[in-house]
Amino acid sequence: MKKEPLILSIDTSCDETAAAVTLGRRVLSNVVWSQVAIHRPWGGVVPNLAKRAHQKHIDEVVNTAKKSINWQTIDAMAVTQGPGLAIALEVGIKRAKEIAKKYNKPLIAVDHMEGHLLSSLAQNSESPKLPFLGLLVSGGHTELVLARKIGQYQILGQTLDDAAGEAFDKVAKMLGLGYPGGPIISQLAKDGDMTKFDLPVPMIHNQSLNFSFSGLKTACLYKIRKIPEKKRDKQFLRDFAASFQYALVQSIILKFKKAVKIYHPKQVLLGGGVINNSYLCQEVKKTARCFGTAVFIPQNRKLLTDNAAMIGIAAYYKFLRKEFVRDIDELDRKPNLSLEAPIFGYPD
């Protein structure tokens, strides 16, 4: 049997310093140094703090991921080129270039979102059947992606304003809850009544596969304002969280269902941190089951949030296609990188 490529990957796109070693689709190590605690007081990621933390921890993270593996046995170096925070991306790219040059390894530039898209293929012996539909929901993105081939993607729908994770953060902020908002709201929602507050399901009458969460955010603001602060007790928070989560998830499911109906994917791949939301995950599985479509979910939580193992998986396919960076010195960050230029109709 042909030997699978051994790849060392780095991701510093946002607020996690990450490195991983993958052998084909097997994850040998997946190290993440989380910066959440650093950013919590600010209620969001602060670029400069992220950059400094990346610089401080990158060597340690890379060395831990690489551990006992000999440089000689590594076949390629991979790094996230975008999308993400410009000054954070730079740190990983710089380090990856240095390693690639020092040890004379080919370098693979990876789209962070392709990493999320393919993250469920890690530690998975089954190959996806094409075409597959990707549902990517994270702090910075909400996308429906169709893959007719690995490496060739069509964005069927995306958010027109806030990403789903951003909506969670912003509503959590309105409710005076902490950061990040997603886990706090989904925890509260578990004991809440989702029918208590009548919030609009966004984009329900819109024919496209796009998402929009800013209207829901504003509706939440109006609702919260009407309730005097002294009445905002624990049960209010639970009910509000459940009602908000319901509206947001239903809007995702609506578009997801539509995409499955139109494109008949053989499989569905989930990715991104918000997939950790168990209500969303359940609803997606339920919907896919109705169509007899199998759902691939990343094997563990670590593969859902930002990590470098998923970059290694995307890099593995690029390695097979021999898509290496031609001139290592020329490789630059691309903060606005997209899996493709959207080809659907534009709203208004």
Partner 1 sequence: MKTTVTFNAQETKWLAKKIFRENKKELAQKCLIFALQGELGTGKTQFAKGLGKALGIKKIIVSPSFTLIREYPFKINGKKGIFYHLDAWRIETPEEWLSLGVKELVKPGNVIAIEWPEKGRETWNKIFDKLPVTIIWVKLKHRRKGERKISWSSKK
Q: How many other C-beta atoms can be found within 10 angstroms of the C-beta atom of residue 348?
A: 3
In angstroms, give the least distance from the CB of 333 to partner 1. Answer: 11
Q: For the stretch 286-316, what's the b/e string if a residue is b when 16 or more beta carbons lie within 10 angstroms of its beta carbon?
A: ebbeeeebbbbbbbeebbbbbbbbbbbbbbb
- Decide if residue 343 touches partner 1 (CB under 8 A): no
CB nearer to partner 1: give 58 or 122: 58
**Site track 321-340 with partner 1 (rule: CB under 8 A), x = hit:** --------------xx----
What does the block give as tokens for 334?
């691309």
Q: Is 172 in contact with 181 (CB distance < 8 Å)?
A: yes
CB nearer to partner 1: give 34 or 208: 208
Judged by CB under 8 A, the residue of 27, 77, 83, 248 near partner 1 is: 83
Q: How many other C-beta atoms can be found within 10 angstroms of the C-beta atom of residue 240?
A: 27
CB nearer to partner 1: give 178 or 215: 215
How, if at all, do strands 26-34 and 6-11 pair? unpaired
- Decide if residue 48 touches partner 1 (CB under 8 A): yes
**Is 153 in a helix, a strand, or coil?**
strand
Max Cα–Cα distance, the chain, nearest Å = 68
In angstroms, give the least distance from the CB of 311 to partner 1. Answer: 18
Q: Give how far the C-alpha of residue 210 lies from the chain's centroid of Cα atoms, to the nearest Å.
A: 17
Q: For the stretch 245-284, what's the b/e string if a residue is b when 16 or more beta carbons lie within 10 angstroms of its beta carbon?
A: bbbbbbbbbbbbbbbbeebebebbbbbbbbbbbebbbebb
Interacting residues with partner 1 between 122 and 181 (CB under 8 A): 139-141, 158-163, 166, 170, 173-174
Segment near partner 1 (CB under 8 A), from 17-25, 85-93, 122-130, 265-273?
85-93
CB nearer to partner 1: give 85 or 310: 85
In angstroms, give the least distance from the CB of 297 to partner 1. Answer: 23
Segment near partner 1 (CB under 8 A), from 84-92, 248-256, 270-278, 294-302?
84-92
CB nearer to partner 1: give 115 or 139: 139
In angstroms, give the least distance from the CB of 302 to partner 1. Answer: 21
# residues near partner 1 by CB under 8 A? 40
CB nearer to partner 1: give 138 or 267: 138
- Decide if residue 46 touches partner 1 (CB under 8 A): yes
CB nearer to partner 1: give 69 or 174: 174
**Site track 191-230 with partner 1 (rule: CB under 8 A), x = hit:** -------------------x---xx-xx--xx--------
CA-wise closest residue to 159 among 286, 283, 274: 274
Tell me the C-alpha distance between 298 and 36, whole Å: 21
In angstroms, give the least distance from the CB of 282 to partner 1. Answer: 26
Q: Is 283 in contact with 164 (CB distance < 8 Å)?
A: no
Tell me the C-alpha distance between 238 and 244, whole Å: 10
CA distances 4 to 74, 134, 224, Å, are 11, 25, 55
Sheet arrangement for strand 152-158: 152-158, 142-149, 132-137, 267-271, 294-296
Footprint on this chain of partner 1 (rule: CB under 8 A): 14, 42-48, 51, 83-87, 139-141, 158-163, 166, 170, 173-174, 210, 214-215, 217-218, 221-222, 335-336, 342, 346-348
